[in-house]
Amino acid sequence: MSDVKFRLPPNDGPVLSVVDMHTGGEPLRIVLSGAPVPEGRTLLEKRRWVRENMDWVRRVLMLEPRGHRAMYGALLVPSEEAEAQLGVLFMHNAGYSTMCGHAVIALGRFALDYGLVEPQGPETPLTIHCPCGLVRAFVSSSGGRSGRVRFHSVPAFTLCTDVTVDVPTYGKVVVDIAYGGAFYAFVSAERFGLDVCASKTRDLADAAAAVSEAVKAQVTIRHPEYEDLAFLYGTIITDGKDAYSEEPTANICVIADLQVDRSPTGSGVTARIALQYHKGLIQLEQTRTFKSSATNSLFTGKAIKETVYGDYKAVIVEVSGQAHYTGAASFTLESDDPLKDGFLLK
């Protein structure tokens, strides 16, 4: 069989070609071809159009049998911003996110390797238009090989601190909520009698999901500019080590339908840095290392300058990480397949 060349048999459905990567263990499936071009004048309009008219692409590529509960996707789309070399919509097991740091890190390598941006010395700048806004990435390379990527996201800020929510099973829980291109609730694992690095992932995920549902029901989320971005994306359970230290601080992020991020979560790191800066626990240019309690993979993050976003005092945060390729594939849909549209086991 070693000499047999694989090919898809003739079929009556679309063929979607993808490149698969991971950043710190968190997958990213980048759509190369086969998906329609979304309609809409702006990226947010395209995001709404995709959600309402071509959600089949997300279901086919994210869900089983072609994907899995933790699959994450990137659909490359035209951007209305002249300075953006890349426009992207992010997909997961339940819908479409507004920002994804691990995806930006992977897309940085991808854009350089696939010729979407011209290399410029040891570090190539790249502007990516995400639903939350323009994100500036910087892709390192050496000897013709792309490497580590750092990025500056949209202004990050703290929405509120010490908010008490009633969480079924867990009682009253005090959370902080911060924005790093997406809104997250933050709470220490200790509140649930758990250890973020030693407790069962399912126990941590259940607690995080319960907090997310409570926050969505009891706290009003407002974005300074766009209603489309005004929602809680997930909950991040931490080790509680928020004060500056050279030692890594661990967390686990749960989004969507119990989707556990395998990486330290790039947009979550952005929001957590903003929260720590807001509380006076870190200073500008103090680099912190963030560890995923799921895979022990590491991102670094630091606040590099103060700014404002609407009525909020904000910071620009730099996040850095490393992505790797895992493969490429072509997926097809056969009209007589009863599971062609994908499914997700509960």
3-state secondary structure labels for all residues of the chain: CCCCCCCCCCCCCCEEEEEEEEECCEEEEEEEECCCCCCCCCHHHHHHHHHHHCHHHHHHHHCECCCCCCCCEEEEECCCCCCCCEEEEEECCCCEECCCHHHHHHHHHHHHHCCCCCCCCCEEEEEEEECCEEEEEEEEEECCEEEEEEEECCCEEEEEEEEEEEECCCEEEEEEEEECCCEEEEEEHHHHCCCCCCCCHHHHHHHHHHHHHHHHHHCCCCCCCCHHHCCEEEEEEECCCCCCCCCCEEEEEEECCCEECCCCCHHHHHHHHHHHHHCCCCCCCCCEEEEECCCCCEEEEEEEEEEEECCEEEEEEEEEECEEEEEEEEEECCCCCCCCCCECCC
Q: Is the peptide bond before 65 cis (omega within 30 degrees of 0)?
A: yes
Q: Please identify which of the residues 100, 130, 132, 253 carries the catalytic annotation.
A: 100
Catalytic residue status for 132: no
User: Which residues are CB-contacts of 144 (< 8 A; sequence separation ≥ 6)?
Assistant: none
Residue with tokens 């556990």: 260
Point out the residues that are catalytic.
100
